[in-house]
Amino acid sequence: MIFQPCDCFHCRRGAQQVIFPILLDNTVEYWLDIPKNASTSIKVKFDLDGKPSVPKEYYSMFAASGIKPYAVYRDPMVRFASLLQHYLTRSGPYGRYNRGEKFFWNHMNLKIEELSIEERMEIMFDNLTKLNGFYYVHHWFPQTYWLPKEFEEYKWVAMEDVQKVFDIGNTNPGSGKITTDMLTKRMKDFVAIEYRDDYEYFTSKGLL
Ligand SMILES: [Zn+2]
């Protein structure tokens, strides 16, 4: 992984590979939090912010007793375009445009609003290794990074089915300014390599 380890507030307090109990159709289910995969919408829907997650010491016991957490997956290329959008455009209350602005100013001495979308994408792409915990670099980690090793099986939900499965409205709409057709060959090649584990894993599960 080219990305730095994340030492943001959330990661420092152990919020990586976390599973929350959720009540779905009056049944207790579990949900694995994978950033950029409808994470905020699901947290809002089930009021999970600040709520305790399942202690990691229980994961082995849960897995052995047949519990399969819900988890959301998406095409790595679409997710990468969404990440760029998240940082490079104004995109709703939970976007990271403010961090994108700071990233460009702190590391490149550039004002992001003076750049075209294409220029923003190129510059961001060329400086991904500079992302650290201040910019929540954990968002960029591959989806498979977030899978606790204790579980072998999940109830996988495609991003398109999130609203139906979890009965939620679109609480964190992206504006769709950056789409996969805007990614250059260089970017697409990077995604194919950097997120290879995701492609292999989801393909092996018949999901992609
Ligand atoms: Zn983090």
Distance 27 CA to ligand 1 centre (A): 31
The pTM of this model reads 0.95
User: What average pLDDT does the structure give for the chain?
Assistant: 94
Phi, psi dihedrals of residue 2, rounded to the nearest 5°: -80, -15
| Total tally of structural domains belonging to the chain | 1
Assess if residue 128 is contained within a domain: yes
| Per-residue pLDDT, 174 | 55
Distance 65 CA to ligand 1 centre (A): 30
Assess if residue 1 is contained within a domain: no
| Per-residue pLDDT, 94 | 73
Domain limits for position 84: 9-204
Give the residue-averaged pLDDT of 153-175: 85
Distances (CA, A) of 108 to 103, 157, 178: 8, 38, 21
Assess if residue 187 is contained within a domain: yes
Query: End-to-end distance of the chain based on CA atoms, in angstroms?
Result: 22
Assess if residue 80 is contained within a domain: yes
Q: Nearest-CA neighbor of 37 among 188, 207, 152? A: 207
Integer Cα distance of 120 and 104 in angstroms: 9
Distance 52 CA to ligand 1 centre (A): 18
Assess if residue 4 is contained within a domain: no
Distances (CA, A) of 106 to 91, 110, 133, 142, 153: 21, 8, 14, 25, 42
Distance 127 CA to ligand 1 centre (A): 18
